[in-house]
């Protein structure tokens, strides 16, 4: 796979110089070679359990992320909370790895994540459990997202 060329659209979007692109590792090249396929899915983090959270989430409330990890506030159903968002970062790395390998991102072995508040039983204040899922987006939405990244 590392012999494949990185699509010019990816190099342009990331603004790599020729020298920088030449010095990428094999794994970096493999990831960039899948090109715009990296932008085929949105990530949803849906509340499945909550206790004592000050934002009062309801089961089914969600955060929505564009491909690449950008939060889409207008599609989220409750307030943005850094305690909730921070533990979600590893799911984006796992997503990239699955796309690089040509695998379905919804088949990750781990699909749940808790907010960073440790809960009342451990000295915190509350706790929220999210289920992570990925949803394929259509070509029109994908192009809109890619264009917003290239501004």
Q: How confident is the model at residue 85 (pLDDT cuts 50, 70, 90)?
A: very high
Number of domains in the chain: 1
Evaluate whether residue 46 is within a structural domain.
yes
Residue 150 confidence (pLDDT):
66
In-domain check, residue 85? yes
Tell me whether residue 14 is in a domain. Answer: no
User: Which domain covers residue 80, as residue numbers?
Assistant: 39-137
Q: Could you tell me the CA-to-CA distances from 8 to 29, 53, 89, 101, 107 in Å, in that order?
A: 12, 45, 27, 21, 30
Mean pLDDT of 29-50: 90
pLDDT of residue 1: 41
Mean pLDDT of 102-110: 93
Strands of the sheet containing 127-136, edge to edge, are 62-65, 41-51, 127-136, 112-114
* Torsional sign, CA 121, 87, 107, 3: negative
Pairing of strands 127-136, 112-114: antiparallel
pLDDT above 70 covers a percentage of the chain that reads: 96
- Looking at residue 95, what is its pLDDT? 92
Q: Tell me, yes or no, whether 4 lies in a domain.
A: no
Write down the pTM of the prediction: 0.85
Measured CA to CA, the distance from residue 125 to residue 137 in angstroms comes to: 36
């Amino acid at each position: 796979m590392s012999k494949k060329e990185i699509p010019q659209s990816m190099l342009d979007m990331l603004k790599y110089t020729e020298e920088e692109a030449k010095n990428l590792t094999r794994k970096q090249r493999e990831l960039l070679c899948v090109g715009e396929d990296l932008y085929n899915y949105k990530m949803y983090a849906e509340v499945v359990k909550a206790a004592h959270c000050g934002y009062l989430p309801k089961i089914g409330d969600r955060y929505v992320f564009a491909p690449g990890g950008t939060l889409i506030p207008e599609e989220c159903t409750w307030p943005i909370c850094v305690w909730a968002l921070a533990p979600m970062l590893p799911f984006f790395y796992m997503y990239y790895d699955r796309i690089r390998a040509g695998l379905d991102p919804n088949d990750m072995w781990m699909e749940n994540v808790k907010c960073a508040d440790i809960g009342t039983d451990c000295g915190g204040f509350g706790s929220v459990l999210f289920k992570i899922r990925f949803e394929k987006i259509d070509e029109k939405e994908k192009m809109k997202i890619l264009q917003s990244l290239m501004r």
